[in-house]
Structure 1
Amino acid sequence: MVFSVAIAGASGYAGGELLRLLAAHPEFEVRTVTAHANAGELLTTVQPHLRSYAGMVLQPTTAEVLRGHDIVFLALPHGKSGAIADELGEASLVVDCGADHRLTSADAWTQFYKSEYHGSWPYGLPELVLSEGAKQRENLVGVNRIAVPGCNVTAVSLGLAPGLQAGVIQPADLVAVLAVGPSGAGKTLRTDLLASELLGSAHAYGVGGVHRHVPEIIQNLTGASGERVSVSFTPVLVPMARGILATSTARLQPGVSAADVRSAWELAYADEPFVQLLPEGSFPKVSDTIGANTALIGLAVDEAAERVVAITALDNLVKGTAGAAIQSTNIALGLPEQTGLTVNGVAP
């Protein structure tokens, strides 16, 4: 069976990456692409690298245009997908690549996003371990709504959740510092995203617990731990077009050995094709993940500081967004999870 697909926000980075990956998906057929300011233009005018879609025209982003497809991917700015999703009805599987349906707390949404809350949807991070021993993929089977995680959130959650679920690290005093590429901010025209500002420099943003991904990280890690966690999260913008390198650390529980730590992560990801724990002493580079739906994790124990250090690398536009969306959609529809996705990156 071939499923018809519409992509709202096809002119952006996330929409473009969805299109690139879906071109290789044997069960999904992209029939409609939409945009706001670029409506009426050829898709290849704004996404010139997507040659297999030559001739497709960007339509206006309205519920009327999006209805009637088996799958609708919403690759829209935060705060824009909730209202249009409310108009789509239940006939389609709707996958929100924005933030509008990620948070289970209305209060957290209001505090960090300061806009209307549209409720929470099943969360599209299949490999996330839960405190009771299950994984999030079990909550995606047969659903018709999916909320794709934030890219930074994915890196931190995959890096720390196994240790919390296994009880080898403490839920308080979790720290994550991330090097991130500017494509995570979309195609927004901002001074701090200009090449002249980025090249040869690096700067932190969203410092002091104010970044919008903080409540989502807490939500995920609390779900893995079974008790409330505290997290200090600091992203740092660096001059690479795409990718995330997350350094996440946590205090060891008393009496826990380095072997216990490694065993927890090995158990969590032993059978996961898209989340891979590297051999002891090896740590990933962002370049190892570009173009692939993989998160690579290197693990160490700092004996002197009594902390675990998890280094997670991923492509923010693939495993961080579009790849996660397709992977979760495959699960929801009962397709093999790896359909249309690759673990192989692009080098150099």
Structure 2
Amino acid sequence: MVMHMSFSVVIAGASGYAGGETLRLLLGHPDAEIGALTAHANAGTRLGAHQPHLRSLADRVLTPTSVDELAGHDVVVLALPHGASGEIAAALADRGDGALVVDLGADHRLTDPAAWRAFYGTEHAGTWPYGMPELLHAGEATPAAQRAALAGARRIAVPGCNVTAVTLALQPGVAAGVVDAGDVVAVLANGYSGAGRSLKTHLLASEALGSAQPYAVGGTHRHIPEIQQNLGVAGAATVRLSFTPVLVPMSRGILATVTAPLAPGVDAASVRDAWRTAYAGEPFVELLPEGDWPASGATTGVNSALVQVAVDEAAGRVVAVCAIDNLVKGTAGAAVQSLNLALGLPERTGLSTEGVAP
């Protein structure tokens, strides 16, 4: 018999993509009770005007995002713009609110304040336990330390979506020492929802359909220091990363192709074993059979990461590919997965790996 522990949850930023997707998953969570739903510019409007697919809550009115509105819940999910979570989280702490706070933004992901200032331009709000249960630590063959760090946590920083795809693609090779992290090249095909819900000309359908366009090229993307941080945790002494995201005409999804040199003296035939060992038994990361390659559409709406690896012997490089849904495994699914661990619930609760097709 499975015992359930109900918890109340408030979503700050419920009118956005990340907030809406977290709300969709929590509506299917057997232990979650939906509390307040807040917004900034959209406060006072019906949720159904922004999330028309969430029919059971369509008539709920969004309230202003304030500490008073967030307080009193067991779980607070902050689906806010980067730079907005730190102040609210600090105010909750100051008033002694004991809620589990889950930040979907970048404010608490980085451990290096200098890296935060360099890429975000403000003062660092501090570092929280990192919400990627599958993150490998140096010396680990399979993930364990990160799950231990999340068990009982009261603060969780959910990873960036691109970061999740690149990390899950390459980290087994780094942890096993079969790749050289000093020359990592990552090119990602990204769905448009990753750019947020703001109205910008280049995000209009008339501009985007039938076209692919890179962005944040030349080492400027804010996810770069977070990827470097993760590969360092996995054991890389030095991480040099060329990272190029490309918007492609799909609403959601990421397909990350990541390459790195084969480490000196490593037998190419043994490379796959590192990925097989790392992800054996993982509920949400699957190494596909040899010859099968990930497709972003196979992860739509679910908390799955599909991974494949091969060795380009002529180039002397390992090629790793990872597909995820940027809004689920890349954001909301990781949040639910991590809060399950923090609350002592089974990690899979409320999360599915069965996708939708076509």
Which band: TM-score by shorter chain? Answer: over 0.9
**Structure 2 SS opposite 1:165:** helix
State the match for 2:115 in structure 1: 108
Q: Structure 1 residue 2 and structure 2 residue 6: aligned?
A: yes
Write the deviation string for residues 150-176 of structure 1: whole angstroms up to 9, x where unpaired. Answer: 000000000011100000001210110
Alpha-carbon deviations, 1:104-149, whole Å to 9, x = none? 1110000000123101100000001110314422210101000000
CA distance in 2, matches of 1:192, 1:96: 28
Give distance in 1, aligned partners of 2:89 and 2:269: 47
TM-score between the two structures when normalised by the length of structure 2: 0.96
The reply on whether 1:171 has 2:178 as its aligned counterpart is: no
Q: Distance in 2 between matches of 1:250 and 1:226?
A: 12
- For the pair 1:95 / 2:105, whether they are aligned, the reply is no
Counterparts of 1:193-208 in structure 2, within 5 Å, are: 193-208=203-218
- The alpha-carbon distance between structure 1 residues 135 and 248, as it changes in their structure 2 partners (threshold 3 A), is farther
Work out whether 1:214 is the aligned partner of 2:197. no
Asked if residue 148 in structure 1 is aligned to residue 148 in structure 2, the reply is no
Alpha-carbon displacement from aligned partner over 1:69-88 (angstroms, at most 9, x marks no partner): 00000001111111111111
- SS state at 1:48 partner: coil
Does structure 2 retain, via aligned residues, the 8 Å contact 1:10–1:34?
Answer: yes
Match of 2:129 in 1: 122
| Correspondence for 1:37 among 37, 41, 44 | 41
Percentage identity across paired residues of the two chains? 65
SS at match of 1:37: coil
Contact 2:133 2:147 in 1 (8 A): yes
AA partner of residue 116 (structure 2) = W
2:293 equivalent in structure 1: 283
Matched position secondary structure for 2:301: coil
Identify the residue that residue 273 of structure 2 maps to in structure 1: 263
**Paired position in structure 2 for 1:333:** 343
- Distance across 1 between alignment mates of 2:33 and 2:170: 36
Separation (CA, whole Å) in 2 of partners of 1:148 and 1:192: 27
Which structure 2 segments of 5+ residues have no match? none
Distance 2:189 2:177 in 1: 27
| Corresponding position: 1:65 with 2:69 | yes
SS at match of 2:355: coil
How big is the shift at 1:257? 2.2
Query: Whole-Å Cα distance in 2 between the matches of residues 136 and 229 of structure 1?
Result: 20
TM-score (norm 1): 0.98
Aligned-pair CA distance for 1:54:
3.2
2: CA distance, partners of 1:13 / 1:342: 19
Distance 1:184 1:272 in 2: 25
SS of match in other structure, 2:136: coil
Segments of 5+ residues of structure 1 without an aligned counterpart are: none
* Deviation for aligned residue 1:185: 1.4
Q: Which residue, out of 225, 243, 268, partners 1:233?
A: 243
Distance in 2 (alpha carbons) for counterparts of 1:196 and 1:116: 38
Is residue 71–residue 92 contact of structure 2 (8 Å, CA) maintained in 1? yes
The alignment of Structure 1 onto Structure 2 pairs a total of residues equal to: 348
| Higher mean C-alpha displacement, 133-142 vs 118-127 | 133-142
Is 2:17 the counterpart of 1:13? yes
Structure 2 CA distance, aligned partners of 1:226 and 1:200?
A: 39
Distance 2:116 2:138 in 1: 23
- The 8 Å contact of residues 171 and 225 in structure 1, kept in 2 or not, is answered as no
Secondary structure at the aligned position of 1:324 is classed as helix
CA drift at 1:227: 1.3
Aligned AA for 2:295? K
Provide the C-alpha distance between the structure 2 equivalents of 1:64 and 1:347, rounded to a whole number of angstroms.
42
Equivalent residue number for residue 191 of structure 1: 201
* Contact 1:127–1:135, Cα closer than 8 Å, also in 2: no
- The CA deviation at 1:6 is 0.2
* Residue identity opposite 1:186 in structure 2: G
What secondary structure does 2:311 align onto? strand
Structure 1 position 308 matched with structure 2 position 315: no
2:79 to 75, 81, 91: 75
Moved more, 146-155 or 88-97: 88-97
Question: In structure 2, how many angstroms separate the alpha carbons of the residues matched to 1:331 and 1:196?
Answer: 43
**CA separation in 1, counterparts of 2:205 and 2:145?**
40
Looking at structure 1, the residues matched to 181 and 124 of structure 2 have their Cα atoms a distance apart, in angstroms, of: 28
Q: What SS class does the counterpart of residue 253 from structure 1 fall into?
A: coil
Tell me how far 1:226 sits from its aligned partner.
4.2
